[in-house]
Amino acid sequence: MQLTEAEILQVLHAIETGEVQLAPDDMTRPPAHQNGNVPYTTSHGWELVVFNDAGGWDYLDRITAPDGRTAEFDDFAKPISDDPFTYTMPQVYFYRPPDAVARDIYGLE
């Protein structure tokens, strides 16, 4: 069974509202002026990887449920049909946390 868009959005919302907390691995956090993946683990066992673009949230690169199911950027951005602007998980593909959440929770601008 694959992760659904609803499951992913529920986790992202729980992070935004503070229902769950993040524990970023500062040892792998790239300097703010560099690009790179930043891993996070939630207090309820989900793992997220956010692509950092010069210190800012660019996109969700990967998310893994506690049961091992994983969805990656290509899963979010895969066109459903011949229409190149119709994605399998559009709300996840276009997701950006509010600026205050990106800064205060994720440590990104």
Dihedral angle over CA of 27, 33, 38, 44, nearest 10 = 90
Question: What was the pLDDT predicted at 63?
Answer: 97
Residues of the chain with pLDDT under 50: none
Q: For residue 18, what pLDDT is reported?
A: 94
What is the tens place of the pLDDT at every residue in 51-68? 988 888 999 999 999 999
pLDDT at 32: 58
In the 8-state DSSP scheme, what is residue 53?
E
* CB contact at 8 A, 69 and 1: yes
- Measured distance CA(86)–CA(98) in Å, rounded: 24
